[in-house]
Amino acid sequence: MEEPLRLQAYETMRSRKRQRNIFLAVTLLPGLLLYTLFRFLPAFIGLGISLFDWRGVSLNMNFVELSNYQRLFQDGDFLIAFKNHMYFFVFNTIIVFTLAVTLAVILTNNRLRERDFYRVMLFFPTVIPAVIINIVWMSVFNPNNGLLNALLALINVEGKNWLGHADNVKNSILFVMVWKSLGFYMVLFMAAVLNIPTSLFEAARIDGCNELKQTIKITIPLMWEQVRTALIFFVVTSSGVGFQLVFMMTKGGPNLASEIMTTYMYRLSFGGQSKFGYASAVAMAILVITTTITLILMRVTKRETYEM
């Protein structure tokens, strides 16, 4: 009697497992197909095109093997774009995440009465379209009648050509990048801080820990996984954000002073040069660099997970 019951239970379990697998396949397959169609397939096509000398307007494709990749290391414009790209990436990451964590801790403190106002004010740039952001800041940085130089004139400080001079353009764009990205990560980290049990902070205060020690010993370790995940997301998406701001504000100028790899790739392909093969090699270089940085960060930032 027990054997038939056992077999029946086993068959029921197999049936439920089969139904679950069918459900997962049906729900995941459309998204997987779309992701393959618009992500993986273009990447493989781009890899193939990078092996050709192709102008993109005909079927005449000259196979050049790895010549496009060898050319990258000899291309002065690409090396400048690479250095600028790393400049924006490194400083943008450090500034955004340092300020986001700091502001998240400050703005979750109930003793700050104006915290709701600061939350809205800092998050607001995140919801503004990139086109509007560029128009506003190009107006602010205008050397002739811009708001920034006008404010500097009030305190007898000489204004500058913020976007038209090589010494100023990178830091000006970097400021806008930080301004746009900060609010999103601040709100993300605020959610992580608010998820920490208040009893831990109360116990720390009883033990004599001040606010700084509580932040270092409790807040940051318990929100580290959220910071790590956000950092990976930031690395993957930073190239796209950088392209929007740089292309619309300066188009990589003046004299390549703000050129980054994505704007250089666009200039090679759609900027009149029609070097789609070489531009695809630049795109593959961006993919490799971004993937390498992501893997390194995943390894370096791996920490022991703390349970709350």
- Quick: pLDDT tens for 124-139: 999 888 889 999 999 9
State whether CATH 3.10.20.70 applies to domain 63-300: no
Q: Provide φ and ψ at 63, rounded to 5°.
A: -75, 120
- Token pair for 66: 């790895």
pLDDT in tens, 236-246: 887 777 888 99
Least confident of 8-22, 98-112, 186-200, 281-295: 8-22
What lies within 8 Å, CB to CB, of 192 at 6+ separation is 104, 222, 223, 226, 227
The Cα–Cα gap between 23 and 29 comes to: 10
pLDDT of amino acid 77: 94
Place of tokens 């190239």: 239
Task: Say if residue 190's pLDDT is above 70.
Answer: yes
According to DSSP, the residues that pair with 8 across neighbouring strands are none
Place of tokens 């029946």: 8
Taking the C-alpha atoms of 231, 213, 193 and 201 in order, what is their torsion angle to the nearest 10 degrees? 160
For the chain, which residues make up each domain, given as ranges? 2-49, 63-300
pLDDT in tens, 20-53: 888 888 888 888 888 888 888 888 888 999 999 9
pLDDT of amino acid 3: 60
pLDDT of amino acid 2: 56
What lies within 8 Å, CB to CB, of 43 at 6+ separation is 287
- Token pair for 221: 């370790």
Task: Say if residue 4's pLDDT is above 70.
Answer: no
pLDDT of amino acid 307: 54
The Cα–Cα gap between 303 and 77 comes to: 39
